[in-house]
Amino acid sequence: MPGHPVHATALIEAYLPGPDLDRTTDPLLRHLRHGGALFEEVIADTAHTHRSGRLTVTPDGGHVVDPGVGCPHPRRITLGAPTNSRALAAFARPRTNAPAFRQNDAGARALLTTLTGPAAAGHRPERPAAPVGLGG
């Protein structure tokens, strides 16, 4: 507090800014947002519309929903507080199968499936036969 000095040996900063895709400083999210490759969660009823600022993802694996095709993008996966698929992490203890652990496990399975599945073969970059730029 201003005017009240505090002396400490450690500081733990646990602040997370509120999600806001329109004002994000992350260059990748900004690029995808402006390119129409992702959109924020919108909650609406007949009287109100609320834009949450959160990235819209699938609840089962965290695939980013691509508004260009209206379905989950097969190779874009994200988890955590800035998404609309949030799991409470408060008091998550080891060996409890807490919602946050289940969400992270589902995301890991989706990522591994994406990287190792049959569809991934067409997306793997080719390895050069020799190091690039070492001619002679």
Task: Tell me if the pTM is above 0.85.
Answer: no
| Residue 51 host element (H or E) | strand 49-55
**Residue 95: predicted pLDDT:** 85
Find all residues with CB under 8 Å of 23, minimum gap 6, and list them: none
**Residue 68: predicted pLDDT:** 85
Residue type, 121: A
pLDDT (tens digit, 0 to 9) for every residue of the chain, 136 residues total? Answer: 678 888 877 666 666 778 888 888 889 888 999 999 998 899 999 999 999 999 999 888 888 999 988 899 888 888 877 888 877 666 778 888 888 888 888 888 888 888 887 665 555 444 333 333 333 3
Integer Cα distance of 49 and 66 in angstroms: 21
Joined together, the tokens standing for residue 78 give 């994200």
**Residue 127: predicted pLDDT:** 39
Contact call for residues 75 and 65 (beta carbons, < 8 A): no
